[in-house]
Structure 1
Amino acid sequence: MTGESVKCGSVYCAWGGEGVVGKATFEEGQVRHFGSHRNLENYRDLIFVLLQRELKVRYKNKLLGYVWSIANPMATALVYFVAFGLILRVQEANYPLFLVAGLFPWQWLANSINSSPNLFVGSGSVIKKVNFPRNIVPLCAILNHMIHFLASVPIIVLLLLLFGESPSWSWFYGFPILLVIQFTMAYGVALGLSAINLFFRDLERLVSIVMNFLFFLTPVLYTIERYPVEYRTLLVAINPAAGLMVNWRQLILEGTMSPLYLLISAIYAVIFFLIGYAIYRKLSWKFAELI
């Protein structure tokens, strides 16, 4: 069977005709699918190849490729350490480690959501020319941000050791739980925002403003203990990001998680995913003509 090659931004995607997707291979920057039917294994291969291609494009011929992947959160942590730790003299033990434990997970969530509105717009050439599930576009984007977060974990471990601490065994089950919850939440938000942005192109600016506002309402630069005890659960209940960030920091620094906050975050993740997917399904039929 012959295949058709279509240039998809920095990725080349090859399909064997409309509605036909087969096994994916990666050869000289090309994603090739040849087969007789579409199934989950085919899409898994497609996702893997797109992610592989994205990482190769990002780091090819870059001597400090890994360093650049963590430079932004590290620089952000340094700025806030100078502002809050040195100038305002926030009284928090091991404040640089405290900041990193909150900022790295936040950067993953914030970058995922801030980049969401333009995902379908930026993939317009693919959506117009290739028949494939459109929800793979935000899926790959969120996975890409998650990979960069995981790439920063060695830095967190190094800082723990420098401050006389060590990773907890609870990371082995805590990290997968929080990764799944945060990925599900971010993916649901990305599905909804990327679809809505096709109709309201100013959404990106609004999302950026909301995320900046949410950042200071979320215990990232400070502990949740700064709130009165009677308001802490309320904060987590009304702020979808609060429970996640509190649990990330507790897990990284103390090896513990709050079951209640975990439950609230999981509920939010499911709600956002269901709403985001419903919006995507409702609007996806008009994607090709709007891009």
Structure 2
Amino acid sequence: LQGNAIGKCPRSKLFRGYIDLELQLREFDRCRILYGKFLEFAPENSSTWIKFAEMETILGDVERARAILALAVKQPALDMPEVLWKAFIDFEIGQEEYHRARQLYESLLDRTNHVKVWISLAEFEMKMRNVQAAREVYERANRTLTNKEKEAKVLLLESWMQFETKHGDEKSVAAVTRLMPKKVKKRREILNEDGVDAGWEEYFDYVFPDDQASVGSLKLFEAARRWKLAQAAASAEVERDMDRNMNEEEETEREKKVRAGDSDTDISSSSSSSSSTSSSDSSSSSGSSDSDSDPER
């Protein structure tokens, strides 16, 4: 009856009820068939994949359970991917396949950069009593997480500080302390649903040492840029002054030459006038002499 119901109207509740019935009857082969059909109907259902793998683990078929979980994490859309990945990692840890668990952590970090995955990996290394490996995980996470992910970065650093306080020394604790952000109070403008100004609100923000160093570097670069612009402006002004002085000198030289030319012209005119006057005087003198000599004739 349930089989007919699933065939006509497949629903998650019907699948679960049918599987539970077959489990009670110890019909595990039929359970496998039902799980297969259930996952064809709802491949995004993480809990179904997990229960299927748990059944195979209980039955002692570890390889089949591993294959089911490996297929599950490859699904393009899952309703609870973080739960499924955790179940897979816990499965490998339970089988004492620690190298497989590490590989799963790395595969998960390739997909997501979530801070809880980093912290979980560090805690896993601590359970393996590998303090240095756990520290390296924290260092990698700190390099990977950006300061824009402030809440996540703070959560990571707090976990790292607890780790170093318990397992590190003064030097390692001081190193993490230098990375801790300052908590500062800020104000920001808020808008209502209509986009109208609704006043201001206070909030707390985190300022990381790297941010302060970046701000200092930006200020230094800005000062250098302004100095360079000022130098360029001053150089341009000097060049303009030099050009202006040269133009003035050239103009002065031209004026001198013009005045000198006018003087030469005046001198020449004066000489010509003097010559003309002398000639006239000579002519007049000659005329007078002739006149004076006429009576004697």
Q: TM-score, normalised by structure 2?
A: 0.20
Greater Cα radius of gyration, structure 1 or 2: 2
Is the helix fraction higher in 1 or 2? 2
